[in-house]
Amino acid sequence: MLLLTTSAPNIGNSIYRAPEMDQANSKINEKVDIFSLGIIFFEMLCHFKTGMERIKCIEALKEKKEFPKTWTGNEASEDFVLELISIAPGARPSTFEILNRHPWDVTER
């Protein structure tokens, strides 16, 4: 079986790419997909008016761990996103941990 995350480190959109994919000789595994999931989850709970706003908000999240004013999630969802996009791949949860530990009711009411 061909595993893209271990055999093609330069594949994918840079917005969703985990930091270790841009480092030479780094171990690439399923944790890069968890990082991408964190960015996607972040996008689901934000309301962007333009594509440029989307990119700037994602860059601010990745670089400074800042959430925009348009963020509709609660504190638990912020913690969840930050865990998913942790710089250290080993600190990111597994898919099993995600499904069994985190509630999916993550928006403010």
Question: Residue 109: its pLDDT value, please?
Answer: 46
- pTM of the complete model: 0.84
pLDDT digit string, tens, across residues 33-74: 999 999 999 999 998 999 999 999 999 999 999 999 989 988
Q: What is the 3-state secondary structure (H, E, C) of the chain?
A: CCCHHHHCCCCCCCCCCCHHHHCCCCCCCCHHHHHHHHHHHHHHCCCCCCHHHHHHHHHHHHHHCCCCCCCCECHHHHHHHHHHCCCCHHHCCCHHHHHHHCCCCCECC
Domains of the chain with CATH codes: 28-101 (1.10.510.10)
**What angle is formed at CA 65 by the lines to CA 64 and CA 70, rounded to 5 degrees?**
110
pLDDT digit string, tens, across residues 10-30: 677 889 999 998 887 778 899
